[in-house]
Amino acid sequence: MKLNSANINVMMKACRNAAKHLIRDFGEIEKLQVSVKGPGDFVTASDKKVEKILIDELSKARPNYSILSEEIGEIKNDEEFKWVIDPIDGTANFLHGIPHFCISVGLEKNNEIVDGIIFDPIKDEIFTAEKGNGSYLNNQRLRVSGRSDLKDSMIFTGGVRHGSKDEDLIQKEYKKIASEVDIPVRKMGSAALDMAYVAAGRCDGFWQRNLNYWDIAAGIILIKEAGGFVTDFKGEANYIKNKNILASNSKIGLEMIELLK
């Protein structure tokens, strides 16, 4: 089975078209690594180019929908529907030639994410979800893991940025979680893919502070439709407003909340 609603098809087409340019640009990164100036400006240009392709495609198909995107900010149109776009999630990985990054697009209806796509173009893995119709990876149904013991779980996080106002707090939270699991906590470098991996059961839980809406929008619906658990660190639904998110299967979520709140 696969998702083939009109909006999912629009999102899929936009992501695949944008991915062609992203793959080509990624192929240039290795050459740019040895340049004196470095690839930073190139990556910025790639981000904007991918964003433009996504916005052009989505606007052509749905000209009245509003748009929120990382680079350009917000375009206000229809108040009912809004595209939420992250053209490259995992920019630092992309910058260093590490093949772990993605395009993320969510569709919001009346302030709720109802469709989402996270596309890893290098691995050709496309995660899709639609409210009430499930989550899929390349058309195969997804379910979160069934692991019930935090001690045995694979947990992802984004870690701390040096100089962050929450640096000490984030370090304390990291130590709390890390001390409870036998498998070292992973920092993969792409919040959107971290959430997709929770939905796919590849990891059991993910938490991170200071995330923007476009980082997590598509991941929210992916995890919910895969049977997972999405809250803030207090176990409440204020993860967008508070910019902190905890995502897991339903069995270890409460244990993670107790450690974080």
Q: Which amino acid is at 32?
A: L
Determine the longest span between alpha carbons in the chain, in angstroms.
51
User: Last residue of some domain: 96, 113, 141?
Assistant: 141
**Is 40 in a helix, a strand, or coil?**
helix
Q: Is residue 71 part of a domain?
A: yes
In a domain, 170, yes or no: yes
How far apart CA 187 and CA 167 sit, in angstroms, is 16
Q: Note whether residue 244 is domain-resident.
A: yes
Number of domain units in the chain: 2
Q: What residue type is assigned to position 118 of the chain?
A: I
- Pairing of the two strands 65-69 and 78-89: parallel
Same domain, 158 and 76: no
pLDDT in tens, 154-187: 999 997 777 778 888 999 999 999 999 999 999 9
DSSP conformation letters of 110-134 = TTEEEEEEEEETTTTEEEEEETTTE
Strands (E), 55-188: 65-69, 73-75, 78-89, 102-109, 112-120, 125-130, 134-137, 140-141, 155-157
Co-location of 135 and 154 in the same domain: no
Tokens of 10: 């629009």
Domain that residue 110 falls in: 6-141
**Amino acid residing at 85:** I
162 within some domain: yes
Q: What is the CATH number of the domain that holds 14?
A: 3.30.540.10
Q: Is residue 85 part of a domain?
A: yes
Q: Are residues 125 and 155 in the same domain?
A: no
Kindly state whether residues 116 and 160 are assigned to the same domain. no
CA distances from 184 to 14, 27, 100, 180 (A): 37, 31, 19, 10
Residue pLDDT tens, the chain, 261 long? 568 799 999 999 999 999 999 999 888 876 655 444 455 555 678 888 999 999 999 999 999 999 999 888 899 998 899 999 999 999 889 888 899 999 999 999 999 999 999 999 999 999 999 999 999 999 899 999 999 999 999 999 997 777 778 888 999 999 999 999 999 999 999 999 999 999 999 999 999 999 999 999 999 999 999 999 999 999 998 888 888 999 999 889 999 999 987
CA dihedral 237, 88, 198, 188 (to 10 degrees): -120
Residues forming beta bridges with residue 245, ordered by sequence position:
208
129 and 27 inside one domain: yes
19 and 136 in a single domain? The answer is yes
Listed residues 119, 141, 163: the one ending a domain:
141
CATH of the domain at 189: 3.40.190.80
23 and 99 co-located in one domain: yes
User: 46 and 110 share a domain?
Assistant: yes
- Shared-domain flag, residues 184 and 208: yes
Q: How many residues in the chain?
A: 261
Same domain, 156 and 98: no
- Give the residue from 141, 171, 205 where a domain finishes: 141
Which tokens is 137 given?
A: 């990876």
- pTM for the model: 0.93
Residue 1 is assigned to a structural domain of this protein: no
The residue to which tokens 């947990």 are assigned: 155
Residue 22 located in a structural domain: yes
8-28 per-position pLDDT tens digit: 999 999 999 999 999 998 888
| 21 shares a domain with 86 | yes
Residue 59 shares a structural domain with residue 132? yes
Are the C-beta atoms of residues 124 and 174 closer than 8 Å to each other? Answer: no
Please indicate, yes or no, if residue 122 is contained in any of the structural domains.
Answer: yes
